[in-house]
Amino acid sequence: MKQEIVDLPDWLQGKFIVLVGLMGAGKTKLGRIIASSFELPFIDADAEIEAAAGCSVQEIFDRFGEDYFRDGERRVIQRILSEQPAVLATGGGAYMNEETQQEISAHGVAVWLRADLDLLVRRTERRSGRPLLNKGNGREILADLMDKRYPVYAKADFVVDVSDEPAPQTAQRIMTNLIEHQPIEENAS
């Protein structure tokens, strides 16, 4: 869908807009819309990791393990953040790394896409290729990740609640928050 072009606010010139949040929160989909609206490039960190490794995230986990993936993830994000500003969708675990958090703060703003468990379960059921969810019950795994990660994601500069509303509307809310420079969205629904 062709998005209406929106002026990037002055305070965001030269900065990355980095989307963080759990699997299924919509980081890639919303990131693409925001990027095309602000006329910025869009980068998906997982896709960059796959390109660098020459295989899928699933294969990296299977062949080399999670620690190896995390190390590659940290390095790839560091490299991306040293290049031209863009809208960057990170994988769900990336923001858990303190060095990555610092790099993001140095080069841009982090936007946490906060979603409730039911939404994440519904969305992740539809797609495979997420190694962490292949290990057992998706709902239990996501609930556990929420407990561990939401307190860390809460360090992000902006928090936007995502729901079942159409993605262009959520993207618009995110951009409005950025334009108005309102770091925290008060209302969850």
Contact positions vs ligand S3P (CB under 6 A): 23, 27, 46, 57, 91-93, 130-132
Q: How far is the CB of 27 from ligand S3P (least distance, A)?
A: 6
Residue type present at position 3: Q
Residue 114 or 130 having the CB closest to ligand S3P: 130
| Cα–Cα distance measured from residue 111 to residue 153, given in angstroms and rounded to the nearest whole number | 9
Location of structure tokens 């998706």? 138
Q: Which is nearer to ligand S3P, 8 or 17 (CB)?
A: 17
* CA–CA distance, 71 with 53 (Å, rounded to integer): 12
Toward ligand S3P, which CB reaches closer, 9 or 139?
139
Residue nearest to ligand S3P (CB): 91
CA–CA gap between residue 143 and residue 148 (Å, rounded): 9
Nearer to ligand S3P, 85 or 91 (CB): 91
- Using the minimum distance from each CB to ligand S3P, give the nearer residue, 9 or 131: 131
Q: What is the smallest separation between the CB atom of 46 and ligand S3P, expressed in angstroms?
A: 5
Tell me the closest approach of the beta carbon of residue 176 to ligand S3P, in angstroms. 24
Rounded to 5 degrees, φ, ψ at 126 are -75, -20
Shortest Cβ 98–ligand S3P spacing (Å): 16
In angstroms, give the least distance from the CB of 25 to ligand S3P: 7
Alpha helix segments (H runs only) across the chain: 27-38, 45-53, 57-64, 66-81, 98-107, 117-125, 138-153, 167-180
Q: What is the DSSP string of 118-168?
A: HHHHHHHHT----GGGGGS-HHHHHHHHHHHHHHHHTTSSEEEE--SS-HH
